[in-house]
Amino acid sequence: MAKIVVDVMLKSEILDPQGSAVAAALPRLGFSFAKSVRQGKRFEIEVEGEVTPAQLAEAEKAAELLLSNPVIENFVVRVEK
């Protein structure tokens, strides 16, 4: 069943203590692959039936108004199968 996914990440110039904490922890656990880590939010939104363009447009609005804070965050809205 299709769902709308909204990814919200802190803007690159805003410091991300959670991401940095993860980046710092990885080597301690013996992981060396990460150059940098950013942590954000992922929203999975179920809709009735298939996702319509109208719903997607609504989701865009909701992401801008509620799900993200434009002062510090960017977001991406997409449909996921």
Partner 1 sequence: MKVGVVTFPGTLDDRDATRAVIAGGAQAVGLWHGDVDLKGVDAVILPGGFSYGDYLRCGAIARFAPVMEVIIQQGKRGLPVLGICNGFQVLCESHLLPGALTRNADLHFLCRDQKISIENIETSWTSSFTRGEEIVIPLKNGEGSFQCDDATLQALESEGRVIARYVGENPNGSRNLIAGITNTRGNIVGLMPHPEHAIDPLTGPSAQGLGFFTSILNALVK
Partner 2 sequence: MSVDTVLNAQRTPDVIQPFAELGLKPDEYARIKEILGRRPTSSELAMYSVMWSEHCSYKSSKVHLKQFEGKAPKSAALLVGIGENAGVVDIGQGYAVTFKIESHNHPSFVEPYQGAATGVGGIVRDILTMGARPIAVMDSLRFGPADALDTRRVLLGVIAGIGGYGNCLGLPNIGGEIVFDETYAGNPLVNALCVGVMKHSDIKLAKAVGAGNLVVLYGAKTGGDGIGGVSVLASETFGANGSAKRPSVQVGDPFLEKVLIECSLEIFAEDLVVGIQDLGGAGLSCATSELASGGSGGMKIALNTVPLRDSSLSPEEILMSESQERMCAIVRPENIARFLEICKKWDVTVTLIGEVTDGDRLEITWNDQIIVDVPPRTVAHEGPVYNRPFSQPEYINGVNAEKISVPIPNSAVEVRAAVLKLATTPNLADKSWVTSQYDRYVQGNTIQSQPDDSGMVRVDEKTHLGVAVSTDANANWSYLNPYQGAKLALAEAARNIATAGARPLAVTNCLNFGSPEDSGVMWQFAETVRGLADGCLEMGLPVTGGNVSFYNQTDDVAILPTPVIGVLGVIDDVRTRTPMSFNRAGLELYLLGETHEDIAGSEWAFMHGQRGGQTPIADLTREMRLIEVLLAGCSEKIFSAAHDLSQGGLAIALTEMVLRHSTGAKVHLANVGMDLISETPGRVVVAIESAKTSVLIEVAKKYDIAITKLGTTGGSSLTINEVEIPLDELRQAHTSTFPKLFG
**Three-state secondary structure call for residue 34:** coil
Tell me the torsion sign for CA atoms 53, 11, 18, 33.
Answer: positive
Q: Cβ closer to a second copy: 44 or 71?
A: 44
Whether 4 contacts 75, CB under 8 Å? no
d(CA 31, CA 22): 11
Q: Which of residues 16-75 bind partner 2 (CB under 8 A)?
A: 16-17, 20-21, 69, 71-72
Question: What is the binding site for a second copy (CB under 8 A)?
Answer: 4, 7-9, 19, 22, 25-26, 29, 31-48, 54-55, 58-59, 61-62, 65-67
Residues in contact with partner 1 by CB under 8 A are 10, 13-15, 17-18, 21-22, 25, 28-29, 39, 66-67, 69, 71-72
